[in-house]
Amino acid sequence: MSHLFNDDWLLNENIAYAGTFGVSQNNGLAGFLPAFHDTQTGRIELSRFADGTPSPIHLLDGLPDDWIIHKSAQGHVTAIKQSVVAGFLFNGSFLTREQAARYRVH
């Protein structure tokens, strides 16, 4: 069965990683930037608002058009490619939420 990658997916990930560096609210001050990685192409994009400005949390509306599968009648992204994962840019490297959750401040 395929998964639908949408706002509910992001919410479920936030719940799964609550209390760790796997969510933006816990790691932003440490220099983690919410980002997405297309595992199929290797492309990494910072999370952005629909107008293109960087977002402090994971949002779908600012993703590249070629990652978007569906938009609502109002123009909001409702589904993205399954090869895209949410994570963070940190010190020039992409970390998955799982990797960020294991991070410890030194």
pLDDT at 28: 85
Q: Residue 2's pLDDT is what?
A: 44
Sheet holding 44-46, edge to edge: 44-46, 33-38, 84-90, 93-96
For residue 81, how many other CB atoms are within 10 A of its CB?
A: 17
Note the pLDDT tens digit of each residue in 51-65.
999 999 999 999 999
| pLDDT above 70 as % of the chain | 94
Q: Which helix or strand (DSSP H or E) is residue 39 part of? A: none
Residues of the chain scoring pLDDT < 50:
1-2
What global pTM score does this model have? 0.86
Give the Cα separation of 71 and 62 in Å (integer): 12
